[in-house]
Structure 1
Amino acid sequence: MPAQEFDFKHIDYSYGMSNSQVPVIKQDEAGFIWIGTQGGGAYKWDGQALHPLADKLKYDLIIDLIPLGPKEHLLLSYNRLVHYKNGKITELPYNKYTEGSDDMVRRIYELDDAILLLSSKGRFSIISKSDFSIITSSLYASDQKFSPKASVEGDTVTLFTSSQTLKLNYVNSAIDTISIYNSEQKFKPYQLSESGNSYLVLKYDSLIKYDKQLNKKGYLTHDLKVNIYQAAFFKGYYWLMGESGLFQCKAEGNTLNLVKKHLSYPIMSFYISGDFMWLGTMKGLFQIQEEDIHLLQADNDNYNSGYFDFHQVGEEVWGASVNDGIHIFEGGELKQKIKSKYPSYNNCRSFVELGDDSIMAASNGGLMKIHKINKGFTYYELYEKPILSIQTSDGNIYIGSSRDGLFKWDANHMVKVPFTGELSSNSIYSVVAIGDKLFVGTEAGFNIIENGSVYQPKALALLNSTPITSIVHVNDSVLALGYAPGGVILYNVLTNTILHEYHDRNGLSSNYTYVLKLIDDQLWVGSSLGIDVIDLNETDEISQLRKFNKIAGAETFYNSMIALDDEVWVNTIAGTVVVPRNIVDKYHDQKYYPIQIEGVEPLTFNDTTVINLDKESIEIPYQHNSLRINFNVAEYNNKHAALRYQLIGYDNHTNDANENKYAVYKQLPSGNYTFKVWHENDEASAATIDFVITVPFYLNKLYQAIFVGIALTIIFFGIWYTGKLKVKKQAEEQRIKEEAQDALRKDMAIDFHDELGNHLAKIINFSGVAQMQALSETQEAAVKKIEKSANELFVSTKDLIWSLKKENNNLEELFFYIKDFAERLFDHSAINLRCYKDANFSHLTFNPKASRDLSLIMKEAFTNIYKHAEAKNITVELNECKGAKACFSIKEDGVGFNQDEVLKKNGLKNMAQRASRSGFILDITSKVGEGSTILITIK
C-alpha cells in the first residue's frame, strides 16, 4: 500500500520569525496556533501569516505558554513567568513556584478555573487565573530526576514523575489524590507522549500504547535504530520524532514499518488538531496536512505516463498508456506493465468490457483483446488502422476510427454504421445511443444519426466545424457535450434545445474541454486548466479544483478519467491526479474557525491612541472617528475564507465577500455602531463589537448658541465691511481707468505728431522745389511726390489705428506688420530686404503702448536706413534667445555713422525712450563704412 501524500508547509524566517527553534505549540479557542521560540519570543500563526505577540518579548526564550484570551497570554521562559494582556507585561513571582534557586518551572497547564505550574523538582502549584496568586502548592517528588509531565482534562490531572504516576483532582481550591498507579504504569516522563485519547510510551526499539486510564492497548516494535523522543498518531500513521528527523510509520501486526522519512533535524514539539499536525523543530514550524488532491504515488515515483483511458478490472485499474502498452495498478501502485509485440498496438486509446473475462482495447494498430487473468493478447485483423475510441452505449459497442468513420461491433465483426449523407468528419471522438438515435461527436462537429440518415441539428449550429471532444449521457433526455474551444453544453435531445452553457465567463476554468464524466450527479470536466466539477442537481455551481490544490489545475490533455469507490483519477500533463469523490461536498461542509475581532485603531496621522476592546462600553473620541477595524480567522487549508462585514448604523448593506481581514471607515458621524463580520453564507458565525463615537464639543447646545451669536456678528460685520471695500474698489478702478485713458491719449498724440511731421517734411521739401522752378517735367514729378507723401500720411494714420487693436498686440502679428511696412518702404528701391524668424511668437503679447512703441522703433529704424544708410542689403531677424523672450535685429551694410554724434539726435533718442518705457533693451552699433546693427531684446 503506497503512502498517503502529506503537504508540509514550512514557516520559518521568511515569514518573519526571528528564531527558528520552536519548543512549544498551543492552540487558542479561536483556532490560532501559538508558538514559543528559543530567543525570538512568541508568535501567532493564522495559516497565512505569522504575527509576533509583542516586541517587548522579542528576545525571550519561551519554553511554554498558555493563550488565555485574544490578547492575553501566560508565558514561561527560563527563570521568568510573565502575564501579557493588551500590550501590558506583568512579571509574576517566579521564585514562589520553585524549590530553591536550583529549581525552575518547566511546564504550565490550563485547568478550568486555574493554572497548574510544574517545576523540575516536582513542585505542583495551582494559581488563580484572575490575579495569579497561589491557591495551593505541594511537592510530589523531592528526588525527581527528570522533569515531570502532566495530562489535563478539565480539573483532573494525571501527573507523571520519575517515582510515581498518580491522578489528582482540583476541587474547592484543594488537590485530592484520586489514585496512585502501580509500577507497571510508571514511566519516565521523557518517554511519554500524549496523542489524542492515548498515551504513547517510547522505548529504544518499541512503542507501548495506553488509554487514558493507563490500560495497555498495544505493543509495537521498530528497527529505526535512532533515539526517538516523541510519538504521535495522525491520519492512520505513527509519527516518530527524534534527533535525526521525522519518521512516518505504518503499523502492520505488531511491527512499525517505515513508510517515509521526513526532515533531517530534531523535532522539539508537536500539536495535533483536526486535520492538521504542527511540528516545532530546530528550523521553524511545520504545518502538516493530508493532501485531499495529490498525484498518484506511482507518478511521484517517476512512473509518470500519459493515459488515454482508465478501466477498472476487479481490484485493478488498467491504464491505456501513450506508447507504453497497458499499465496495471493495484492499491494505487503500479503492479505490472503489459505490452504488445507490435509497437503500434502499444499506443492504446480506450477499453470496453467484452463480458467473457476479456477486455477490448483500441490502439493505433487497430483492435485487440486482452485476457483479464493471463493478460494475453488477441489481435483482430479485421481493421488494422488507428482507432480513436470504443464505447459501450445502450448495450452496443461503437468504434470510432481515425479517418474511416463510425463502426459497430457485431458478432466479432466490425460493421460500418449504415446511413445516408455524410458525417461532419470521419474522425470519431465520442458516441452515445439513446433509443433509435446515435449522437456522434467528431473532429469537426456534432451529428445525429436517425432512421438511416445523418444531420447536424440547427440548434447546435455553433458546434459546426468544432471538435466535439466528449459526450456524456446525463439522463434519458439530456446530453452533456464538451467541445474546444467553447466549454460545455447541456442539450435536450427531445426538444432539440440548449438547456445551459458553461464557459470561462460563468465559472469554468477554461473553454478548452477535453473530457467529461458523470459522477454522483456531478459533471466532472477536464480542460486545459485542470479539473472542474459542475453540480447538476440544483445550483449549477461550478467548483474549480485548482483552487483547492494547484496540482488540479494541470492540463487534462489525454482525456482519461475514472471514478473508483472513494476517489477519481484524472490523467494530466503533470501525472495522474487523485481526487476524493466527495471533494466538493467536503469543502462545502467544512467548518470554519470562529472569527476574531482583533482591534480597532484610529487612522489619524501619527496617532498612537490604543482603543481597549475589553471594556464593556467602548467610547471613541470624535477626533479619532476614522477607523480601521482588524479581524482574523484561522484558515489552514487551501481554500481561503471569504468574509462579509457591515457597520450597522452606517452601512446600508453588507460588503461583497472577500478575503480581506480589515475594514476601513473614514469620518464616522457621532453615534452608536455595531460592527459585524461573518463567513460568507453563514451569518450565524458572526463576530460583533459595539462602540460609540462621542459627540464633539462643538455640538453642545451652549457652545452652539455662543457659536451662532459669534457667527451672526461676523456675518453682519462682513457684510458691512464688504460693502465698504466694494465702494472703495469701484472708485479706485474708475480712477485707474481714467488715468490710463489720459495717458493713452497723450501717447497717441505724440506718436501721431511724429508720424505727421515725418511726412510733412517731405511735402515741404517738394513744395519748395515747385516754388523755385517752373512747371517743367521735374516740377510735375515733384508734384506727384507731394501727392504720394499725402497718401503715405493717410496710410500711417491707418497704421496707428491698427496698433490700437488688442488682437494685433502679439509678437507674431507685429513681425508681419513690420515686415509689410519694410517691404512697402523699400519696394521701389535697389535695396535687397530679407526677413526671417525661427519660431511662432503668437504667445508673446504686449499692451497697446508697448506694441505701438516697438512698431515705431522699427519704423524709425527703417526710415533712417532708407534716408541715410545707402545700404544694398537689409536683414531683419526675429529669434528666440537665451535669457530673454525674443530678440529683434536689423542689420544693413550701408555707409554707417559715428555713434557719438548720431546717437544724440532726436530720432535715435526717441527710439531709446520708447524702448526704455516699454521694458525693451535697445542696442545700436555702427562703424563708418561698415553699416549698422539695431538689436531689440524683449525681456
Structure 2
Amino acid sequence: MLLSLGTNSIAQQKVRVSLVKYGQSDGLSSYNIQQIIKDKNGFLWVASQDCLTRFDGKSFLSYTQQSLPKHRISGPDVRKIIEDTIHKALWILPNRDQLHVINTTNGDVIKNISIPNYANDDWNITMTNCGNNLWIGSFRGLKILNTKKWQFIPPPKKIQNHFINSEINCIGRDNFNNVWVCYTRYGIVIYNGTSLKKIKEIKLKDLGDRLGRNTIRVNDFTLVNNNEILFATDQGLRTVYFDRFYSLTVDNNPVKNLKVLNSCPIDAIKAIRHDDIIISGNGHLYQFNSALSNYVVYDESIGDAESKWINYVQSIYFDGDKIWLGCQQGIGMMKIISSPFAKYYYDEKTGNKLEHMRSICVLPNKDILCGLSSGLTLVNHGDNSFTTLDRAHLYHHIFFLGNNMAFLSTNQGMHVLKKKTIKSIESIYPELKSYKAHVVNSHVFVGDSVVIMGTECDDGILIWNYKRHYVKKIDTSSSPALASNTVNNIYHDKIGNLWVLSDKVITVINADFTISKSLDFASERKYPKLDLFFDMCEFNRSYWIASYGNGLIQIDDKWKVRKLIRQKDGLSNEGVYNIFNIRDSSLLITSNNGLSSYNIKAQKFKNYYIENGLQSNSFEEVTATAYHDKIYAGGINGFTVIDPSKLLVNKIPPILYLANVEVKLDNGQNLVNTSLDIKTLTIPNNWLQISISFTGINFEDPKRVTYKYRIKEIETNWINNGHRDLINIIGLPPNTYTIELKAANEDGYWSYPKTLIVKIEPKWFETWFFKLAMVVLGVIILNAFYHYRIKQIKIQQQIRRDIANDLHDDLGSTLNSIKIFTHLAIEKKQNISYLKEIEKLITSTTGGLRDMLWVLEDSRDDMNELLDRVKKFATPIAHANQIKLECYIEPELGNPNISKTEKRNLLLIAKEAINNSFKYAECQTIKVIVKPGTNKKILFSISDDGLGFDISNKSNGYGLNSMKNRAEQINYVLHYNSSPGSGTLITVEKK
C-alpha cells in the first residue's frame, strides 16, 4: 500500500507498482494529459493537448472542434477543468478564444463565453473559482469572469512592477477563500477572493531565484493544511506557511533528504490522505510524508519497448482510494492500497528480459533466482535490476540449499550456484555424482537435512540427505514402490505422507517410507478420467488437487472425490498448474489463463488477469513458490509477486447510470435522451424500438461489470444481461412500464436498482375513447341486429300465418269439396264423375302443399328456382292443351336472390295469371319472362297471344284484385295490358 511514512527514520525505498494505463490504443483520443478530475457523478474528465475527454472506465467521449455541436469546444489545447456542483456544470478552459460550460447530467456544452485577449500571443493557462468569480491566468496576465453577470470585470490594479501582466501559470485558492496568483516574472500575490484587493505578496527574490533568470514558473500547488501551501516550480519545491492574518514564512529548501527536489523542475504535486504528498519531479514519482523528511520512489514494472509512464507525470488527482496520473503518454491509475501484484519482466537499464520462466527461487536476502527456458537471471530485490548468470541452458528447477548455495537443475542435469558461480553438483556433493544427469522438477524438505526431489524423465524420486551425504532412489521397482516413474510434482502433507503426483496416478508413501498406496480415481463412476496431476494442498481434512485440463479436485481423508470444480463453477481455466492454501480460508490457483482465488467457505471465485497486474494470463507448470506469505509465480513474460493479503473484496458496487435512451420511430426519426438523471420517458405511438444503454462505473475492473434488468409489469424475476450494457425493447402494448436495472462489480456486489418509467402512448385506435366508441357502436349494432332479427322473425311469422291461412282456406275448402263429392259418390250409383272430381281436388291440394313447402325451403330463394317452380306447374297443363310455354331470365339480370315472401306471392301471381290464360285466352303461346325493369330491378311478366279483353269494359275481377294485393304485399307494382284479339300482358315490377 502507499506507505504512511514516519518522521523519525529515513526511508529511501523503491516500491514496485503497476499502473492501469489508458492510452490512444485504448480509445483515449490524445496524449499529454494536463489535468484529471472526477465529477460528482463518478465520471473522469481529462484535459489534454488535443481535446477534452469524459471517461467512464470503458469508453471515452471526446470534445473537439470537429465534434457535434453539443460536444464542440473552441480549442484543441484544454488547460483546466473546474466543477461547479451547485449548478451541475463544468468550466472548461481551452488555451484560446472561449470558456465553455458543460452540463454534467447530459454531457452537453450549454454555454460558450468569449475570453478577451490582451495580445496575439495571449494564451490561457490556468483557472480557479472563488465565490461568483472565475480567475483565469494567461500568458499576458489575469482575467476575471463574474458568473452572475456573465461579464469579465477589471482585474486588480497593476502592481508597481511593470511585469505584473506577464505569464500566470498557476492560480490557487486557500481555505480562507483567498486567491494566490503566481506571476512568473513577479512572484506570488494573494488577493481577497471577494473584494479583489491585494492582501500580501511574495516576490521572486523571496522565492529563491537560484538561476538568476528573474522568472520562477509555478506549475502546481497543494494545500498541505490550513496554514501551509506547497508549490511545485521549475526551480524546485517551495513551502509557504501562513496564519489567518497572512503573516508569511517561505521555505525555499523544504526537502531535507532529497535536496535535488529543491532545485529541479517539479511538474505536479498533490497532498493525499494521512498527510502524505505525491510529487512528480526529477524524472520520478515520489511519496513523501508531510514533513518532507521521508520518502519512497515508485518504480513501475514495464515490458520490452515500453516506457515508464510514472516518470513523466504532469498532473495528479486524488480519488479517495486511487491516484490518477496525467502522463505524457496517457492516463495512469495507481491504487492507494497498492496492487496485490508486482510483475517483473524487463530491466530498462540492461535490456534483460525474463522470457518464459520455468523455475523460480527466492533467496534469504529476497533476491530472486529466475530459471528461464534459455538461461538464469538474478533479480536484485533492492533496485529490481537483472543480472544474467547463464544464457545457455533450460532451468527446470531451483531451490535454496543453505550456506549461500542454490540447487540448480537444467536440461543437462544437476548443478550448484555458489556466489553467483555455477558449479557441478559432484564438486560440492559427491554423493550425487551418479545422479548428476537426472533432471529435477520438484522438491520438498523433510526435517533439516533431507530433501526429496521429483525427477523429470521417468526416473522416480530421489531421497537425499545432504548432511549425511546419502542418496536413495524410489521408483516402480523399489520398496516402497511408486505406481509410476513419471513425476509431475511432490507434496509432503501435515501427517508426514509423501504424495507423488504423476500423469495417471498418485502414489502416497507413509511417513516411515515403508508402505505405498496408489490413487488413480478409476473406480470413481462420476469422474473416471481424472489425470495430469500437477500440484496439491490440504485444508480441513480435505485435499485439493490440480488436475490439468479437468480443474480442481477435492477429495476427503478417505481419498474419495467430493467435488470437481471446473470453469463453469467460476474457475478461470481448467488448465490448472499450482495451488496454495492461503491462511486456511482460501485457495490460490495458477492456470493457463489467469489466476483464481477461491473462498472455501463462501465457495466463490475471484479471477485475475493481465489487466489486473499479472505478468501475463499464462503461468507455467511447477513455476510457483511460496515465500514469507507471498506467492512468486512465473509464466511466459517473467513472474508476478502475489501478496494474498491484498486480494481484497471490492464491496463498492458500480455507479449505475442510463447513458443513452434512443427511441426509433417508424418515420425514420430517432428520439435521443442522454441525461444521466432521466426518470420518466414518454414514447410516441409510432415507435418501433427502445434502445437503452447504460454504464456501471467501476474503475477497479470495468470490463467485468455485469448487469441485470426487468420490466416489473411483465417479469418479476431479473434477467441477466451479462457484461452487455444495452437492452432493446420492442412490441410492448401501450401502458406505463417500470424498467429496473442494476449493476454488479467483479465481486458480485450489486448497486441499487436504477428505475426508468416508460409511458407508451396508444395509437388512435388503441385510445380509451376509441375503445369506448367501439363498445357503443357494438351495442348499437347488436341492438340493430336484434331488432332486425325480430323484424325477420315477425316477417317469417307473417309468412307462416299467411300460408296457414291459405292452407286453411284452400285446403279446408278443398277437403270440404272432397267430402261432398265423396258423399255423392257413395249415394249415387253413377259415381265416376264424382270420383274424377275428387282426384282433381286431391291433385290440386298436393300441388299447393308442395308449393308451400318450396316457399319455406331456405336453400332456394332466387329467381331461377322461382322460374323452375313455375315451369313445373305450367308445363304439364300447357302440354295437355297444346300450348307453347316459354320461361326464361334475361342474362342482364343475372340470378337475384328473393325473399320467401317474394317467392310465395310471385309464384301465386304467376299461377293465377297462367290459369287465366289456360281458362279464358284460347292462346297458342304463354311467355313467362324475368328481366330488368325501368329501375334495373326485377320485372316479372306473364303474357299470352290469346283472345284478350277490353280493359275499359272489363271490370277488375277477383283474379286481378288478388294479384294486385299480392304485389303490394311484397312492394311490387302490377300492370296489365290487353285488348280484344291482341292477347294479355301482366307485369309485376319491384318498386
- Measured after TM superposition, the shift of residue 556 of structure 1 is 1.0
- Indicate yes or no: 2:372 matched with 1:307: no
Q: Give the aligned residue type for 1:569.
A: Y
How far apart are the structure 1 equivalents of 2:81 and 2:125?
11
Do the aligned partners of residues 180 and 714 (structure 1) sit closer, same or farther apart at CA in structure 2, a change above 3 Å counting? farther
How far apart are the structure 1 equivalents of 2:178 and 2:497?
73
Q: Give the aligned residue type for 2:501.
A: G
Which residue is equivalent to 2:186? 163
Q: How does 1:508-527 map to 2 (within 5 A)?
A: 508-521=571-584, 522-527=586-591
Q: Secondary structure at the match of 2:777?
A: helix
Q: How does 1:507-656 map to 2 (within 5 A)?
A: 507-521=570-584, 522-546=586-610, 548-549=612-613, 551-557=615-621, 559-564=622-627, 568-582=631-645, 584-585=647-648, 588-589=649-650, 591=652, 594-605=655-666, 606-609=668-671, 618=680, 620-623=682-685, 627-636=690-699, 638-640=701-703, 641-648=705-712, 651-656=715-720
Q: Give the aligned residue type for 2:237.
A: I
- Indicate yes or no: 2:50 matched with 1:50: no
Q: Secondary structure at the match of 1:302?
A: coil
- Indicate yes or no: 2:377 matched with 1:349: no
Q: How does 1:745-784 map to 2 (within 5 A)?
A: none
**CA offsets per residue over residues 175-196 of structure 1, 9 Å max, x none?**
5766544652499573332368
- Indicate yes or no: 2:565 matched with 1:502: yes
Q: Pick one of 302, 315, 334 that aligns with 1:270.
A: 315
Which residue is equivalent to 1:60? 74
In the superposition, the TM-score normalised over structure 2's length comes to 0.59
- Indicate yes or no: 2:441 matched with 1:386: no
Q: How does 1:693-842 map to 2 (within 5 A)?
A: 704-713=771-780
- Measured after TM superposition, the shift of residue 488 of structure 1 is 2.4
Do the aligned partners of residues 555 and 153 (structure 1) sit closer, same or farther apart at CA in structure 2, a change above 3 Å counting? same
Decide whether the 8 Å contact of 1:367 with 1:379 is kept in 2: no
**CA offsets per residue over residues 859-900 of structure 1, 9 Å max, x none?**
xxxxxxxxxxxxxxxxxxxxxxxxxxxxxxxxxxxxxxxxxx
- Indicate yes or no: 2:454 matched with 1:400: yes
Q: Pick one of 408, 422, 425 that aligns with 2:484.
A: 425
- Measured after TM superposition, the shift of residue 446 of structure 1 is 0.6
Decide whether the 8 Å contact of 1:630 with 1:661 is kept in 2: yes
Which residue is equivalent to 2:517? 455
Q: Give the aligned residue type for 1:46.
A: D
How far apart are the structure 1 equivalents of 2:683 and 2:637?
58
Which residue is equivalent to 2:471? 414
Do the aligned partners of residues 655 and 134 (structure 1) sit closer, same or farther apart at CA in structure 2, a change above 3 Å counting? farther
How far apart are the structure 1 equivalents of 2:770 and 2:270?
71
Structure 1: any 5+ residue segments left out of the alignment?
737-939
- Measured after TM superposition, the shift of residue 501 of structure 1 is 2.1
- Measured after TM superposition, the shift of residue 544 of structure 1 is 4.1
Q: Secondary structure at the match of 1:381?
A: helix
Structure 2: any 5+ residue segments left out of the alignment?
1-12, 210-214, 243-249, 301-305, 793-857, 866-991
Which residue is equivalent to 1:150? 171
Do the aligned partners of residues 703 and 247 (structure 1) sit closer, same or farther apart at CA in structure 2, a change above 3 Å counting? same
Decide whether the 8 Å contact of 2:144 with 2:155 is kept in 1: yes
Q: Secondary structure at the match of 1:533?
A: strand
Q: Give the aligned residue type for 1:435.
A: I
- Measured after TM superposition, the shift of residue 543 of structure 1 is 1.9
Do the aligned partners of residues 690 and 380 (structure 1) sit closer, same or farther apart at CA in structure 2, a change above 3 Å counting? farther
Which residue is equivalent to 2:946? none
Do the aligned partners of residues 529 and 511 (structure 1) sit closer, same or farther apart at CA in structure 2, a change above 3 Å counting? same
How far apart are the structure 1 equivalents of 2:483 and 2:25?
61
How far apart are the structure 1 equivalents of 2:672 and 2:208?
51
Q: Give the aligned residue type for 2:443.
A: I
**CA offsets per residue over residues 651-709 of structure 1, 9 Å max, x none?**
42333263333443343643364645343444455555556556777777655433422
Which residue is equivalent to 2:219? 192
How far apart are the structure 2 equivalents of 1:13 and 1:459?
49
- Indicate yes or no: 2:136 matched with 1:80: no
- Measured after TM superposition, the shift of residue 575 of structure 1 is 2.4
- Measured after TM superposition, the shift of residue 386 of structure 1 is 0.6
Do the aligned partners of residues 645 and 221 (structure 1) sit closer, same or farther apart at CA in structure 2, a change above 3 Å counting? farther
Decide whether the 8 Å contact of 2:100 with 2:111 is kept in 1: yes
Q: Secondary structure at the match of 1:708?
A: helix
Q: Pick one of 480, 483, 486 that aligns with 2:550.
A: 486
Q: Give the aligned residue type for 2:486.
A: S
Decide whether the 8 Å contact of 2:615 with 2:639 is kept in 1: no
- Measured after TM superposition, the shift of residue 118 of structure 1 is 4.6
- Measured after TM superposition, the shift of residue 133 of structure 1 is 6.3
Q: How does 1:193-232 map to 2 (within 5 A)?
A: 193-194=220-221, 197=224, 199-203=230-234, 206-210=235-239, 215-216=251-252, 217-218=254-255, 230-232=267-269
Decide whether the 8 Å contact of 1:597 with 1:631 is kept in 2: yes
- Measured after TM superposition, the shift of residue 378 of structure 1 is 0.6
Q: Secondary structure at the match of 2:217?
A: helix
- Measured after TM superposition, the shift of residue 468 of structure 1 is 4.9
Q: Secondary structure at the match of 1:425?
A: coil
Do the aligned partners of residues 643 and 363 (structure 1) sit closer, same or farther apart at CA in structure 2, a change above 3 Å counting? same
How far apart are the structure 1 equivalents of 2:280 and 2:101?
34
Q: How does 1:349-368 map to 2 (within 5 A)?
A: 349-351=397-399, 353=401, 359=406
Decide whether the 8 Å contact of 1:308 with 1:322 is kept in 2: no
**CA offsets per residue over residues 135-168 of structure 1, 9 Å max, x none?**
9964465731113531235645333234352445
Q: How does 1:889-900 map to 2 (within 5 A)?
A: none
Q: Secondary structure at the match of 2:255?
A: strand
- Measured after TM superposition, the shift of residue 315 of structure 1 is 3.0
Q: Secondary structure at the match of 1:553?
A: coil
Tell which has more relative contact order, 1 or 2 (C-alpha 8 A, sep 6+): 2
State the aligned residue count.
711
How far apart are the structure 2 equivalents of 1:608 and 1:427?
67
Max Rg structure: 2
Decide whether the 8 Å contact of 2:367 with 2:378 is kept in 1: no
In the superposition, the TM-score normalised over structure 1's length comes to 0.62
Q: Give the aligned residue type for 2:59.
A: A
Decide whether the 8 Å contact of 1:487 with 1:504 is kept in 2: yes
Q: Give the aligned residue type for 1:210.
A: T
Decide whether the 8 Å contact of 2:346 with 2:352 is kept in 1: yes
Decide whether the 8 Å contact of 2:255 with 2:262 is kept in 1: no
Decide whether the 8 Å contact of 1:674 with 1:689 is kept in 2: yes
**CA offsets per residue over residues 888-922 of structure 1, 9 Å max, x none?**
xxxxxxxxxxxxxxxxxxxxxxxxxxxxxxxxxxx
Q: Give the aligned residue type for 1:60.
A: S
Do the aligned partners of residues 138 and 633 (structure 1) sit closer, same or farther apart at CA in structure 2, a change above 3 Å counting? farther
Please give the root-mean-square deviation of Cα atoms over the aligned residues, in Å. 5.4
Q: Give the aligned residue type for 1:270.
A: S
Do the aligned partners of residues 416 and 616 (structure 1) sit closer, same or farther apart at CA in structure 2, a change above 3 Å counting? closer
- Measured after TM superposition, the shift of residue 424 of structure 1 is 1.8
Larger deviation: 522-531 or 617-626?
617-626
- Measured after TM superposition, the shift of residue 433 of structure 1 is 4.2
Which residue is equivalent to 1:677? 742
- Indicate yes or no: 2:382 matched with 1:331: yes
